[in-house]
Amino acid sequence: MNSVSPSAVQYIVAGGAHEDKPSAQSRRHNGHGSVPDGIREGSGEPDEVDRLKAKFMSAWNNVKYDEVDRFRQAFVSCVWLTYRREFPQLEGSSLTTDCGWGCMLRSGQMLLAQGLLQHLMPLDWRWADCHPLTDVDFEVLKPRSPSRPAGMSLPSFSSSWTSPISQRDPSSGSSEGHRRTPARCPAASHEPQVEALHRKLVSWFGDHPSAPFGVHQLVELGKESGKRAGDWYGPSVVAHMLRKAVARTAEFHNLAVYVAQDCTVYKGDVMRLCELPESSETGWKSVIILVPVRLGGESLNPSYIECVKNILKLKCCIGIIGGKPKHSLFFIGFQDEQLLYLDPHYCQPVVDVTQGNFSLESFHCNSPRKMNISRMDPSCTIGFYAQTKKDFESLCSAVSEALSSSKEKYPIFTFVEGRGQNYGLEGQSGGSMDGPANIFSCNRMSRNNKRGSTDEFVLL
């Protein structure tokens, strides 16, 4: 599938609701195909059935538009963290960029950022300045019936990534209320306090030594496992680095990070980590659970594909860090057999997040990418978030059900009662992704470069 030009994307995004009798030109742009049977030029007034057909089609396309726009809002609101250049020199090295070696660190940052968005931001928060999607092939579905559309499915996110919209009956027709100009997210919060918190959250991942989750701090934590700036980091090592980074940040006294041991989540360990004294206000710390797993030998075991998709659907899932071999990505959803991801392989100039009104634009991506799930490296780390003890119990139940969908005899990982051995950061292996770094040219990975592979564009 090929990408469309930004102007074509703008047309589709801004088109909004369609009239009952769209023009031939708009039908070509929006992929509606031919006019319903019975409505032809020169055929006179359509009968009542044809009018109902046209009305139904118009309403159905509005429902489809809402889904596309909801996807846009959720995707663009994600925090996007990429290679940066010209930041302060990393201690113990002469490096002032992580281009070519830091992609797993950036993927880990994005996973943590998504957990913090859930932890701190309002449930239905969307970035107020989110932009229209670009480099996307928008193919509007042509419904054969309300329950069986003929065409590509919409991307599936975890329900935590999308805010619910009111369900409308497709046969109820279009209304003036459905017309919109989505240059800004309609569900976005413009409250100054909320946007200030969003900006503060992004600043925690800034590229300077004092940022608690910045590359400088993560590289320092990596030294405890024998890693240095410029080395390749695996998803398991990064999971433990994130755990230590959160534990050392005073602002997050009410949040813990738990890393599973040997593909096992020990409920007793999570309870011990999260339970607070009875005198505390909540009695429970919110928790981000990171599960390093291996989904096959040299390549992904196809038996796990359905299980991975079911995990990404869960409300408690905050994403997966992994990627292709020696090429880390942050997976956030899927569309049919394609994984949707945020790509850290864009070398952008450093942004001084210590300035009060620093630009947020380079921290949000409006160009979704995808890859076939069969190309996924088997070594990865899956992330979950639970705000309360009840949420944790629901998480255990929901994830266990998703894990049972695997065709393999043994699940990807398990939940067990009791406590396990307390492993530290040392000795943890990231599997096949811990090998030598695959070095990329900064120029080749510049943000404005066009990609050669057409399979990376998302079809909506």
- What residues are annotated to the active site? 103, 343, 345
One-letter amino acid at 457 equals F
Q: Side chain identity at 257, as an amino acid letter?
A: V
| 348-349 and 338-342 beta bridge pairing | unpaired
109: Cβ–Cβ under 8 A, 6 or more apart, which residues? 81, 205, 213, 218
For residues 285 and 387, give the distance between their C-alpha atoms in angstroms, rounded to a whole number: 7
Write out the two tokens for 324: 């292709």
Q: In this structure, what token pair is assigned to residue 186?
A: 């309609």
Phi, psi of 169 (to 5 degrees): -75, 120
User: In residues, how long is the chain?
Assistant: 460
- Give, in degrees to the nearest 5, the angle at Cα 313 between 159 and 81: 75
Q: Where do the H-state alpha helices sit in 2-161?
A: 6-15, 24-30, 48-77, 103-120
Rounded CA gap, 219 and 396, in Å?
32
Do 161 and 332 form a contact (C-beta atoms < 8 A)?
A: yes
> How do beta strands 84-85 and 348-349 pair?
parallel
Cα separation, 384 vs 406, whole angstroms: 19
CA distances from 121 to 189, 191, 192, 194, 453 (A): 10, 12, 13, 7, 36
**CB–CB of 222/230 below 8 Å?**
no
Tell me the pairing of strands 414-416 and 264-266: parallel
Q: Encoding tokens for residue 158?
A: 């975890």
